[in-house]
Chains A and B, each alone.
Chain A
Amino acid sequence: MAGKVTKDDLFWVFVKSNFLLGSFNFERMQAMGFCVAMIPILKRVYTGDDLKAALRRHLEFFNTQPFVAAAIMGIIGAMEEKKANGADISEATLSGVKVGLIGPLAGVGDPIFWGTIRPVLAALGAGVALTGSLIGPFIFFIGFNIIRLATHWYGVQYGYTQGTALVENIGGNQMRFLTEGASVLGLLVMGALVAKWTSVNMPLVISEYTNSAGEHVVTTLQSILDSLMPSIVPLLMTFACMALLKKGVNALTIIVGLFAIGIIGYAIGLMA
């Protein structure tokens, strides 16, 4: 007779969900990590050939944003338990739910975690770190990990208790609100950072004269730019990078290119 999933099992799924990407490989990506995270449940509800089949099906391709993956683990855990206890759930259904959730959940997780929470907290922490204060790394590390661990924990719990009911919710409006709301916050902060945390100085002298009061007036390229729109150069550079990245140019290539601009700009006296 198949067993019942215990609180302890779910706790271990939560713990192992933190290592999802450990054995990331180019063939099946997070497959082993997913299987390992499911093992506490699988070994509880299955024995013998059923266990072998379950292990096999969770070694199939898997790849999504690692924090939201915890919810998929909870959902699949609930389905596996039902299947073990006689519910009519086929392997195809399980794979279908799993693969079907990869896209939408990554679509929510990527902009929220990689697009908003991490860059915003990292920028905040880095800004403080520039002053040499240990508070900087701590703001980022502790802030991010509280949010991350909560996502893992509630993902597993909520996924397990809601089971397939959650599958329908993920396509719903709540998720769209969350994603777009996070994007609004993230983009606003990015706009601020482009202006605040870049520095471009172009001391190239455009004109130089002594005015009627006898004062020496120097107009540099930078002073003209500042009177029009400060930080316009970093803004244009950002747009140029966005366009290059969209064309598939490697980020490191662009960085090397910017270093080259810095060196040449300094050498010819355009930048300082």
Chain B
Amino acid sequence: MTIVLLFIVAMITGFAAVLDEAQFHRPVVACTMTGAVLGDLTTGIILGGTLEMMALGWMNVGAAMAPDAALASVVSTILVIVGHQSIGAGIALAVPLAAAGQVLTIFVRTITVFFQHMADKYAEEGNYRGIEMCHWLGLLLQGLRVAIPSVAIYMVAGTDTVNNALNSIPEVITRGLQVAGGFIVVVGYAMVINLMNAQKLMVYFFLGFLLAVFTNINLIGFGAVGAICAYFHIQTMQMNIDIEEAAKTGGGGGVEGDDIDDSDLM
């Protein structure tokens, strides 16, 4: 029964990872669902929260592909809950898993080129159901590429061989990984900041940083402060546009046109 449910959950995260719509593949959701299926909801939620911080900047932008949060979340939750590993170990394991998941999705995205050409043939025949079928087949493969490895690992996790292998990791590594866990999230922050790519707006980043260092405002407070800053920023933008336009009509227009404009403004 658990295997069936796990398979379904893993399929859903696989679908979500390529669709990037409902976000079932994000660690905070995927680990929670996997934890619920494996009978330890709380561990799933905590691991999900921790992984989410690390994965904050993992995103599909343009043709770039995010590391795979789906496989990383589901399998690391299995290893933590069924394989009795620490949350810290789960985070460390998530990184190679995200890379492996990325390789698998690249593989599927290449196979799907074949479906694309099948769809072309159906278009020639005016067979729209055929095109839809090609589309859903691509999606199905994306689900399977997470579900199959997840179920396979579930079946070996908890066995002595796997446990011994995981437990033989020396302490300096596990403690070091925990230390790194405290700041690994900066990669995600950096990715998000780079996406905004706005040098002139970095002053708001520093404002947020300084407020966080020297005050006790919580995250909801920061959202509110950010909204107010955004409001004033937009006001300033509008003002600059108005000034520019006034300068244009003032400088470029003839004397007569100028007079009319001015009287309108009064």
Which residue numbers of A lie inside 8 Å of B, CB to CB?
Answer: 18-29, 31-33, 35-36, 39, 42-43, 48-49, 51-52, 55-56, 59, 63, 66-67, 106, 110-111, 114-115, 118-120, 122-134, 136-137, 140-141, 144-145, 148, 173, 176-177, 180-201, 229-231, 233-235, 237-239, 241-242, 244-246, 251-252, 254-256, 258-259, 261-267, 271-272
Contact = CB atoms under 8 A, between A and B. Distances in A.
Nearest to A199: B182
A188 B205 contact: yes
Contact of B135 (A19, A56, A193, A237): A19
B194 A246 contact: yes
27 contacts: A18-B21, A19-B21, A21-B18, A22-B19, A23-B139, A35-B119, A56-B120, A63-B62, A118-B23, A119-B57, A123-B219, A130-B46, A134-B41, A141-B28, A181-B233, A185-B226, A187-B202, A188-B204, A189-B223, A191-B210, A196-B212, A251-B191, A252-B67, A252-B95, A259-B180, A262-B178, A262-B183
A157 to B, nearest CB: 18
A23 B138 contact: yes
B28 A137 contact: yes
Contact of B196 (A115, A266, A267): A115
Contacts of A201: 179, 182
B128 A42 contact: yes
A258 B205 contact: no
Interface of B: 15, 18-23, 26-29, 32, 41-42, 45-46, 48-50, 52-54, 56-63, 67, 92, 95, 98-99, 102, 109-110, 112-113, 115-116, 119-120, 122-126, 128, 131-132, 134-139, 142, 172-173, 175-196, 198, 201-202, 204-213, 217, 219-220, 222-223, 225-227, 229-231, 233-234, 237-238, 241
B228 to A, nearest CB: 9
A246 B180 CA distance: 22
A113 to B, nearest CB: 9
A230 B183 CA distance: 14
A18 B19 contact: yes
A235 B202 CA distance: 13
B67 A251 contact: yes
A159 B67 CA distance: 33
Nearest to B64: A251
A133 B251 CA distance: 62
A29 B112 CA distance: 10
Contacts of B227: 185
A184 B229 CA distance: 7
B128 A26 contact: no
Contacts of A272: 179
Nearest to A28: B116
B19 A19 contact: yes
Nearest to B181: A262
Nearest to A127: B219
Q: Which of A27, A55, A141 has the largest number of chain B CB atoms within 10 A?
A: A55
Main secondary structure of the interface of A (DSSP, over half): helix
B180 A261 contact: yes
Contacts of A43: 128
Given A24-B138, A110-B61, 10 more contacts: A20-B21, A25-B115, A114-B60, A130-B49, A186-B192, A237-B183, A241-B190, A242-B194, A258-B183, A259-B92
Contacts of B223: 120, 124, 185, 189
Contacts of A195: 208-209, 212-213
List the 4 closest A-B pairs by CB distance, nearest first: A262-B180, A191-B208, A129-B49, A23-B138
Contacts of B56: 119, 122-123, 126
B172 A184 contact: no
B46 A265 contact: no
B58 A251 contact: yes
A48 to B, nearest CB: 7
A45 B115 CA distance: 26
A251 to B, nearest CB: 6
A148 B112 CA distance: 26
B19 A187 contact: no
Nearest to A200: B183
A229 B41 CA distance: 39
Q: Which of B186, B222, B234 has the largest number of chain A CB atoms within 10 A?
A: B186
Given A192-B219, A200-B182, A125 B189 contact: no
A237 B222 CA distance: 22
B226 A189 contact: yes
A149 B138 CA distance: 23
Contact of A193 (B61, B138, B177, B189): B189
Contact of A132 (B19, B27, B45, B63): B45
Given A25-B115, A25-B116, A123 B53 contact: yes
